[in-house]
Structures are given as structure tokens and as C-alpha cells.
Structure 1
């Protein structure tokens, strides 16, 4: 293996480590919530934040949560396809911001897919609210997915299209 080949293969490992760290942290927290809190328990933390134990069989904002069970396999399949595509993308020469966004996407997708495989639903435990209005409950994997979107948008915004570059 030449030095150039070694450099190309080694540049992706920090990004796989970021994704793995998200998955591991997410799963540890979810397992603690699942094993230490009864389902549906609410622990008030602040006037606008609760620690809770709920499940989501759907996607973001409970999309398709009441679809009858088939959505579990759809979301697992989508996560596997997305992760495979992102792994391929991470092996290409891309910017650090883009690599970070792909790592965040992978960590979030894998974290929630593990829940769907193991439990049939995603464990959510963060509840932000104002008076009687509650944002849909979420978890660390969801935060990673959202952060991935923000970082990807930053990477796209920072990239100057070739047509607009000064000559």
C-alpha cells in the first residue's frame, strides 16, 4: 500500500469514530431510560424541560406512527441504505464539514435503527415544552440528525459554485 493510498483510507476513520460515538452514547442513554424508568414516566427538570420515557414507532414528529407496523421495516431499510451511501461518500475526498455532517447522519440513523430492530420503536426521552404545548419528544440520535442537517447546510453555503468563482 502506497503512502498516498494509506492517507486516503486513514482520513475516514475519525468520521466513523464520530458516528460510532454517537451510536454508543445514544444507546447507553436509551438503555438507561428503558431499564430505569417506567414507560410514560415524566421527570420535570425545568419549567420548560422534562426527562420522559416514551416510544415512537414512526419517524420525525411521529410520521407514520399509526401505520400498523410495516413502517418499522421501511425505516430500518431506509437507514441501512442511507448509511451505506454515506459510508461510500466518506471514502471520497470531501470537506471536513461535509464529512462531519455525514458522520452525524450515520450516528443518528444507526442509533434509531438499532431501537427499531431491538424494540420495534425508538425510545425518546427529551421533552421541551411551553405551557401546554410540547415539542415532539426526541433523543440524542435525533439531535445528531438535526445537527447533521445544519452542518450540511453550512458546508453547502460555504462552497462557492465554480461559475461564481473569481477568475
Structure 2
């Protein structure tokens, strides 16, 4: 990957990926700690973007939601 004429090392890319994953988990934790389940937050940037505290028990768009629990370990999102 080139950024302004310099090639990034695999370690830099791995670090960026790790920081992004950690920030994603931090955002999820903050939402769980600060908002009630189902709470709706209107954001005035655009009418199409709002925050709602929900739990997705499956994969993307609740894929495998009726899978009996194996998907939680497989997709590494355990509760």
C-alpha cells in the first residue's frame, strides 16, 4: 500500500488494523455502558443516520441468527 510515495510495512498495516479493531470494541463497550437497550439517538448530520442500541445475534444482517450458538464462537463475538 502506498501512502504519499512511501510503501507501508506489513507491521504498520497490522498495527493500523489492530488499532481499528480495538477502537471498534471500545465503541461497542461504550454504547453498552452508556445507553439503554433500544435507546434511539437522533444525529442531525443526515436523516438517514441514527444510532440505536441493539444486539445482533447472528453474522452480518443476522445471518445464522437461528444457528443454535455455534456462530458466536465461529465469528469470535462471544457474550
TM-score, scaled relative to structure 1? 0.38
Distance in 2, matches of 1:44 and 1:55, equals: 18
Q: Work out whether 1:71 is the aligned partner of 2:66.
A: no
Distance in 2, matches of 1:57 and 1:37, equals: 18
Corresponding residue of 1:54: 54
Structure number having the greater helix percentage: 1
1:7-86 alignment, distance < 5 Å:
11-46=9-44, 47-76=47-76
State the Cα RMSD in Å.
1.4
Question: Structure 1 residues 74 and 27, CA, compared in 2 at 3 Å: closer, same or farther?
Answer: closer
Corresponding residue of 1:135: none
User: What is the DSSP-based 3-state SS (H/G/I as helix, E as strand, rest coil) of the residue aligned with 1:55?
Assistant: coil
Corresponding residue of 1:124: none
Structure index of larger Rg: 1
Shift of 1:23: 1.2
1:76-115 alignment, distance < 5 Å:
76=76
Distance in 1, matches of 2:29 and 2:74, equals: 23
Say how many residue pairs are matched: 69
